Structure 1
């Protein structure tokens, strides 16, 4: 019986580079965002808030990172995952910290899940573009165009 197993996680250096890249993308888009990176357990590793970004979006960005990092798929894919199952739709959307709309992306390295990035404060599409910029900046697996 194994008592302990090694765990791979996003580094603080990569997390900080990812949030900075997301903010740079937001600047290019002319929007203000909050962005967080979490490990697969949902622990916050890095966070940035642009001046003027909605303070209410702070927890949403962190929770998007928590959701994408824990489940391993984009937050915008939740409705596709649950399909027509109304019980799952209601049940999952009622869970604290679980976000079921776009702007959160898993961080994978060579297919291995190491965390999640979450962006909030702009449109769902713009949040996704900023999150993807964070992935690309650190060389994480690309999830493709959000949406």
Structure 2
């Protein structure tokens, strides 16, 4: 029987810290949302002076990445490529900035970022996702 891996709160803080570092380095004010292995909000950070609308958008990007187990950029590119029926999928926010979080092949959560241009949100989310590789997750 394979044990299910899970993010701890300290893991979520480490992921947010890595993402925040990338945002601060570029002077980008954003909201960073972390979902747990059940797809529920675990941690949310809103930088000073980030528009309030980004709170919901960051969570929805994370939720899309979690539900579909892929980057929201992939979903966005599919829509831009002409497959507009994808807009009707429940839980789909096809805007770059959301990534699923995997540990040893297991989906352990997701990150969503909103506040700047979507490609910049994606850069920040990637920095957070990379931090997962350095963590020793509990099983």
Tell me which interval the TM-score lies in, with the shorter structure as reference length.
Answer: 0.7 to 0.9
- Is 1:120 the counterpart of 2:114? The answer is yes
Matches within 5 A, 1:1-147: 7-80=4-77, 84-86=82-84, 88-92=85-89, 95=90, 97-139=91-133
Aligned residues: 132
Please list every run of 5 or more consecutive structure 2 residues that lacks an aligned counterpart in the other structure.
135-139
- TM-superposed CA distance for 1:29, in Å, is 0.8
Alpha-carbon distance in structure 2 between the residues aligned to 1:68 and 1:90: 15
TM superposition outliers: structure 1 runs of 4+ over 6 Å: none
- The alignment's C-alpha RMSD in Å is 2.1
Alpha-carbon distance in structure 2 between the residues aligned to 1:127 and 1:10: 22
- TM-superposed CA distance for 1:138, in Å, is 3.0
Question: Structure 2-normalised TM-score?
Answer: 0.83
Contact 1:70–1:116 (CA under 8 A) maintained in structure 2: no
Higher relative contact order (CA 8 A, sep 6+): 2
Structure 1 residues 126 and 90: CA distance shift in structure 2, 3 A: closer
Contact 1:39–1:69 (CA under 8 A) maintained in structure 2: no
- TM-superposed CA distance for 1:118, in Å, is 0.3
Please list every run of 5 or more consecutive structure 1 residues that lacks an aligned counterpart in the other structure.
141-147
Alpha-carbon distance in structure 1 between the residues aligned to 2:57 and 2:109: 16
Alpha-carbon distance in structure 2 between the residues aligned to 1:73 and 1:40: 14
Contact 1:41–1:70 (CA under 8 A) maintained in structure 2: no
Higher alpha-carbon deviation: 7-16 or 41-50:
7-16
Contact 2:37–2:108 (CA under 8 A) maintained in structure 1: yes
- TM-superposed CA distance for 1:85, in Å, is 4.2
Higher alpha-carbon deviation: 98-107 or 5-14:
5-14
- TM-superposed CA distance for 1:91, in Å, is 1.1
